[in-house]
Amino acid sequence: MTSRHRSSETVHEASEHARGTGSSAPRRRTVVKAAAATAALTGPLAATVPARAATVPVFLHGVASGDPLPDGVLLWTRVTPVPEAIPGSGLGPDTEVGWVVARDRALTDVVAAGSVTATAACDHTVKADVRGLEPATDYWFRFTAGGVASPTGRTRTAPAADAAVPNLRFGVVSCANWEAGHFAAYRHLAARGDLDAWLHLGDYIYEYGTGEYGTRGTVVRPHAPAHEILTLADYRVRHARYKTDPDLQALHAAAPVVAVWDDHEIANDAWSGGAENHTEGAEGAWSARQAAAKQAYFEWMPVRPALAGTTYRRLRFGRLADLSLLDLRSFRSQQVSLGDGGVDDPDRTLTGRAQLDWLKAGLASSDTTWRLVGNSVMIAPFAIGSLSADLLKPLAELLGLPKEGLALNTDQWDGYTDDRRELLAHLRAHAVRNTVFLTGDIHMAWANDVPVNAGTYPLSASAATEFVVTSVTSDNLDDLVGTSEGAVSAVAAPVIRAANRHVHWVDTDRHGYGVLDVTAERAQMDFYVLSDRTRRDAAATWVRSYRTRSGTQRVERSYDPV
């Protein structure tokens, strides 16, 4: 039966603020001269508008879907109604954008249709929250404006809440620095054709100016705008630049995304009241910058905010799995330096009280076989004190640690140990099993048990397991050291594992992605690496698989990728 829907998205306005001058360089920047540091916003993006846009709208940024439900999905696009309506400009007329959803790729078996108005107030982005669909079903969708059609996208609804689901398959990615390379990882995931959805665990964009963040000294392709992004217009332009990437467009058109932000969608090492990469006053007010970044994110991403200004929410995939998605930037206390005892302070929090209570309650009450947690920073403990000085210095740079060398990264759960102890104790006290944390951020691939007490592990219990995916393009440890890929990992990985007995595998050097396959018997992550992040035609190769069997709370190696 054909039904008609009409959808609109209310996006909170955020005031723009003036860009300051004379700010000091933060410790994680590698500052170089930016050849186009003062380039106008219009330059790099206006050049991509075809001549026919003078008379008809165009869809330059692809189509996307996200946050699948059993009866619906969120559809997204951005229309350029006239040439001057480039992202971040605030220009261009209100434009009616139609959408259609069908059971077939040719869009002849239409099941839902409607329209939404694209306005300059929302940067001419539109969302349609389509409902009334069938569960566990493939659909195709398209937008139209002024007689012009967008590309066609495929999406898929989640299984019914009480459905017995034989398996689920998710692509898993994080940390994609535009300037450091091409997004071949997205191309390979798009080509699979077997994903129920794909998870982006944070750092979908980076906020730095051209040449200011790890590229091994070579900017493969420059950001737009060229300067560090601070205002609402800046963040809109940066999101728009990313969504011109053909491989990212292909993945968005191939399967629905489930995304959370980490810090670089806002600013490096962000916390509730500021960020390491933000100088109050010289770079405006933190509250204004944060509001601008979040507004642009919700405009440009097919994500439903569960609460105003946050990304924590929960999706269910039949009786097989639910997925709790965390926001570990909006509510956290400021990071502390190691050695002052602050990491154990019970008054400091990573999650915020409300989110931690929400997570604990959801994990304890879940009736699914698996409890997946989309987690932007690593929860398993990580000690690096026994690394040699030549490896410790670049590793400290990658993780934002003092160069003299310390044992923990205070930006991840290691810096908020009271939250971690409370959560893991809750899992043990309520006999919550089959909890798997899916993590990004650290630019390395890991397969971890999550011990209740790392000091006595493996004699003590594991409360959960964790799979960490490496970066799509952002610098790994070998990039910082400046050596050949694999050379650092060969030395560092055994040392890291010796100091962290809950770590089953770590690859410090390679770029790539993961594919998570879940059945009633096991949750398995297949790790893939790219041949060269600087080449768009980079090949992808399977390197390792790790799984956790139902009821075990421990990781083991698998030799059979899905």
Instruction: State residue 385's pLDDT score.
Output: 57
- DSSP-derived letter for residue 166 is S
For the stretch 433-472, pLDDT in tens is 999 999 999 999 999 999 998 888 998 899 999 999 999 9
Give the separation between CA 304 and CA 7, rounded to whole angstroms. Answer: 13
Q: How far apart are CA 213 and CA 205, in angstroms?
A: 12
Tell me, what's the pLDDT at 393? 64
Q: What average pLDDT is seen over the chain?
A: 88
Helix (H, G, I), strand (E, B) or coil at 460: coil
Q: What is the DSSP annotation of 302-330?
A: ----SSTT---EEEEETTTEEEEE---SS
**CB-based contact 294:309 (threshold 8 Å):** yes
User: 91-140: per-residue pLDDT in tens?
Assistant: 999 999 999 999 999 999 999 999 999 999 999 999 999 999 999 999 99
| CATH 2.30.110.10 assigned to 3-19+29-156 | no
Mean pLDDT along residues 234-239: 98
CATH number of this structure's domain 167-558, picked from the four choices 3.40.50.300, 3.60.21.10, 1.20.1260.10, 3.60.21.70: 3.60.21.70
Quote the DSSP letter at residue 255. S
Lowest-pLDDT range of 262-271, 275-284, 448-457, 537-546: 448-457
d(CA 495, CA 108): 59
Q: pLDDT category, 477, cuts 50, 70, 90? A: confident
Tokens of 414: 């290691």
143, β-bridge pairs: 99
Q: What is the pLDDT of residue 309?
A: 83
Whether residue 29 is predicted with pLDDT greater than 90 in this model: the reply is no
Q: Where in the chain is the domain with CATH 3.60.21.70?
A: 167-558
State the pTM of this model: 0.88
Question: Quick one: how far is CA 194 from the chain centroid?
Answer: 20
List every span in the chain annotated with CATH 2.60.40.380.
3-19+29-156
Measured in degrees and rounded to the nearest 5, phi and psi for residue 388 equal -70, 160
| Residue located via tokens 């080509």 | 191
Q: Which two tokens stand for residue 182?
A: 């091409």
Alpha helices in 145-285 (DSSP H): 184-192, 232-242, 246-254
3-state class (DSSP) for residue 218: coil
**245-264 confidence digits (pLDDT tens):** 999 999 999 999 999 999 99
Query: Contact at 8 Å (CB) between 238 and 224?
Result: yes
Helix and strand counts by DSSP (H, E) for the chain: 10, 25
Residue 381's SS3 state is coil
Which residues make Cβ contacts (< 8 Å) with residue 260, sequence separation at least 6?
200, 201, 202, 311, 312, 325, 326, 327, 374, 376
Q: Please give the Cα distance from 425 to 407 (Å, whole number).
A: 23
Using the CB atoms, write b or e for 154-191: b if 16+ within 10 Å.
bbbbbbbeebebeebbbbbbbbbbbbbbbbbbbbbbbe
The pLDDT of residue 48? 42
